[in-house]
Structure 1
């Protein structure tokens, strides 16, 4: 495993970080709690020391699973990355969307990042995670109803109190990052990035490189599309959000699989899975510090971790880049 610093901080995280959204079950169809715990522990055994979660993932379930998985591990050897700013348990702030919880009950999701709400969310997360501090605390999405600076004054307070080590953002524009930094120093921005979604390379990546901020790439496998296992006509489980996603419609699946066919020979030459090649390529991109990779079971977790067990030459990276560019 490779380890990288976040921004200019002293926080060192694993280049492959366990993404615990699917572990919480919500929007991914059903999940088996014991398998999710085993997946996190299997990741740790492979050197994956960092886990990214959020209260909204399963409405607390993901954080509880993370807490259970790490309870017997040395706390200073694990980095917990969680979030704030999405509420399902109160109707305040900016309405985001309707959803259903893991029991099928209708819930409304709000973007809400007031000072009081953030302080309360942090306390709730600490209890679910079974810890007394969070390594990286990130706003999940912007909330138009609360000034950004006000939200991050709360995070600055939590850092002063020792409940949070470092501040980060998710899904923030460059302008929003700059506004947040009026209140607290940011170390990172967690944003979507994959072979089929490279929009951040236009503005966010150059800004982060220039100002020494880390980029945490989420959905690097594009929700499983880049495994090559998704074929036209693929049937998703009930409750799986991917069924209606534009990248999982037949035309896009066909186009993506043609691109993947071009890079499969490189994976074969390394004796690795296509998904491992994709993850390795992701963390080699300029400005990308880590890739978040989700897993529902130990086998998937181990495979993700082993994406760092091989190297790509400049020639191989150029071949992959050319195939990826051909998608546009």
Structure 2
């Protein structure tokens, strides 16, 4: 595994980081708790020392699973990345969505990052994770009802108390990052990026490169689409959010699979799967520090981690880049 420092911090995390959203079940059509725990343990065994989670993933379930999985691992050998600012138990801030919890009950989710809410959320996360500090604490989504300085003053307090080591953001644009920086040093921004979703390259990537902020790319496999395993007649499980997304409609699936067919020979040359090739390409992109990869079971987790073993030549990277640019 390769390990990369976040921003100007001394926090090193694995270039392939375990993304624990699907582990929480919520929006992914349920989860098997034991499989998820085994997936995290198996990825740790092959060098994936960093796990990204959030309270909203399964309304606490994902964080509990992460806490369970890291029991018995020396705490300084694993990096826990979690988030704050999405409440399903408090109707305050910006309304985000109607949803259902893992028991099928209706919930309303709000984006809220008020000071007292962050302090409360941190305590809950620490309990669920079974730890006394979080390595990277990230706001999950921008919240328009709370001044940015209020939000990051709260995070700053948590850092002073030793409950948080470093601060990051998710889904922030360059302007929002610059505003947050006035209050607190940020080390990273976690944003969606994939071969078929490259909007951040316009403004956010250049800002992060210029200001030495790391980018944690989430959904680098475009929620499974870039594995090549999704066909136009794919049947999604009940409760799987992907069924309604534009990227999972037959026309886009077909177009994506044509792109994947063109890069498949490169994967085959390296005895690698398409998913592994896509992950390796992602962390070779300018400004991208880390790729977050989710897994439902131990085998998937190990396969994701092995993406690091691929060594792409300049010619191969250019071939892929050209195909992606033409997409």
Q: TM-score range by the shorter chain?
A: over 0.9
CA–CA distance in 2 between the matches of 1:299 and 1:183?
42
Residue 297 of structure 1 is matched in structure 2 by: 297
Three-state SS of the structure 1 residue aligned to 2:224 is helix
CA–CA distance in 1 between the matches of 2:268 and 2:149?
49
| Unaligned stretches of 5+ residues in structure 2 | none
- Cα deviation, residue 30, structure 1: 1.4
Residue 107 of structure 1 is matched in structure 2 by: 107
CA–CA distance in 2 between the matches of 1:6 and 1:13?
7
CA–CA distance in 2 between the matches of 1:208 and 1:35?
36
CA–CA distance in 1 between the matches of 2:256 and 2:132?
44
Asked if the contact 1:139–1:168 (Cα under 8 Å) also holds between the matched residues in 2, the reply is: yes
How many residue pairs get aligned? The number is 327
- Cα deviation, residue 68, structure 1: 0.2
CA–CA distance in 2 between the matches of 1:186 and 1:231?
40
- Cα deviation, residue 323, structure 1: 1.1
Residue 282 of structure 1 is matched in structure 2 by: 282
Residue 89 of structure 2 is matched in structure 1 by: 89
- Cα deviation, residue 145, structure 1: 0.5
Residue 14 of structure 2 is matched in structure 1 by: 14
- Cα deviation, residue 325, structure 1: 1.0
Three-state SS of the structure 2 residue aligned to 1:216 is strand
Three-state SS of the structure 1 residue aligned to 2:269 is helix
Residue 2 of structure 1 is matched in structure 2 by: 2
Asked if the contact 1:83–1:139 (Cα under 8 Å) also holds between the matched residues in 2, the reply is: yes
List per-residue Cα deviations over 1:170-195 (Å, max 9, x = no partner): 00011100111111100000000000
List per-residue Cα deviations over 1:55-77 (Å, max 9, x = no partner): 00000000000000001101001
Asked if the contact 2:277–2:310 (Cα under 8 Å) also holds between the matched residues in 1, the reply is: no
- Cα deviation, residue 245, structure 1: 0.2
CA–CA distance in 2 between the matches of 1:233 and 1:144?
40
**TM-score scaled to structure 1, two decimals?**
0.99
Q: How does 1:27-176 map to 2 (within 5 A)?
A: 27-176=27-176
List per-residue Cα deviations over 1:131-176 (Å, max 9, x = no partner): 0000000000011110011100000000000000000000001110
Residue 244 of structure 1 is matched in structure 2 by: 244
Residue 233 of structure 2 is matched in structure 1 by: 233
| Unaligned stretches of 5+ residues in structure 1 | none
Q: Runs of 4+ in structure 1 displaced over 6 angstroms?
A: none
- Cα deviation, residue 310, structure 1: 1.8
CA–CA distance in 1 between the matches of 2:322 and 2:174?
28
CA–CA distance in 2 between the matches of 1:198 and 1:230?
20
CA–CA distance in 2 between the matches of 1:10 and 1:200?
25
**TM-score scaled to structure 2, two decimals?**
1.00
List per-residue Cα deviations over 1:225-258 (Å, max 9, x = no partner): 0000101011100000000000000110010000
Asked if the contact 1:259–1:326 (Cα under 8 Å) also holds between the matched residues in 2, the reply is: no
